[in-house]
Amino acid sequence: MIKSYSPTSPSRRHLTNIHYGELSKVKPHKPLLRKLKEHAGRNSAGRITMRHQGGGNKRRYRVIDFKQNKINQSARVETLEYDPYRTAFIAKIVYSDGSRAYILAPHGVKQGDVLAIAPAAPFKPGNRMQLKNIPIGYQIHNIELNVGKGGQMARSAGSYAEVLGNAQGYTDIKMSSGELRRVSSEGYASLGQVSNPEHNLVNLGKAGRSRWLGVRPTVRGSVMNPVDHPYGGGEGRTQRGTRKPKTLWGKITGGHRTRDPKRRSSKFITKRRPKR
């Protein structure tokens, strides 16, 4: 559910946020926390390789179990928690052997629910099973690209893919982007969509809230000097001045394919996503 606020200041006028009332009021599980080193978008030489990153509140990484490879075991959802490193909520589960793990919380799963992990499990959101046993039309998330490697696709808030069919050891799935892809039927996926589907409706309201998240200001190329950007220079607001859209370093970007044509996994994409 989305929260809005009274316009007591310009920054609160359009501010919206997620209502966290459904989350458990507990501290994170210490054995599953890690401290990640802050790089502020810089490489080992100290040069910026990813712009507009740095600062922000301190946070600790929650180790997520994307594999969930304790087959034929049930797991009870102990808590639903916020994760500062991802858009989706996470769930702390307790396996039948007593061990605990964090997983991506499926949408609609509540505290106390029991999840199953098996080659063939009941068709209930949060259960994890092999793709070959999932019927056509079901929504899935946390999908394995390579068998045993753990989920790699459909992991952000509200994400899901749709099962289109099984044939010759492969499962055809439709991604939320419209791309059709083929993956091994022996791989595992979780039923349902990822939690927090309203994340895209959040309005930060002010620049300072972006800084809390570690996002630094972004400057438009058209307001730079000619030495700094291909769009820079001119008196007042001017046209782009270059025939094709370019990056800061002069590389063509508009309509230019960025995927490596020799990438091995390209043969498993049966249809590319449609142009917007």
Q: Which domain holds residue 132?
A: 25-36+53-199
Establish if 218 belongs to a structural domain.
no
Q: What is the pLDDT of residue 254?
A: 82
199-245 residue pLDDT tens? 999 999 999 999 999 999 999 999 999 999 999 999 989 998 888 89
Q: What is the pLDDT of residue 255?
A: 79
* Mean pLDDT, the chain, integer: 92
Q: What is the pLDDT of residue 79?
A: 94
Establish if 47 belongs to a structural domain.
no
Establish if 225 belongs to a structural domain.
no
30-56 residue pLDDT tens? 999 999 999 999 999 999 999 999 999
Q: What is the pLDDT of residue 48?
A: 94
pTM: 0.88
Confidence of residue 138 (pLDDT cuts 50, 70, 90): very high
80-120 residue pLDDT tens? 999 999 999 999 999 988 899 999 999 989 998 999 999 98
- The CATH number of residue 190's host domain is 2.30.30.30
% of the chain surpassing 90 pLDDT: 79
Establish if 84 belongs to a structural domain.
yes
Number of domains in the chain: 1
In DSSP notation, the chain reads: -EEE---SSHHHHS-EEE--TTS------GGGEEPPPP-TTB-TTS-BSSSSB-------EE-B-SS---TTEEEEEEEEE--TTSSS-EEEEEETTS-EEEEEPBTT--TT-EEEESSS--S-TT-EEEGGGSPTT-EEESEESSTTT-EEES-STT--EEEEEEETTEEEEE-TTS-EEEEETTSEEEES-BS-TTGGG----SHHHHHHTTB-----GGGS-TTT-TT--SSSS----SSS-B-TTS-B-TT---S-TT-GGGGGEEEPPPP-
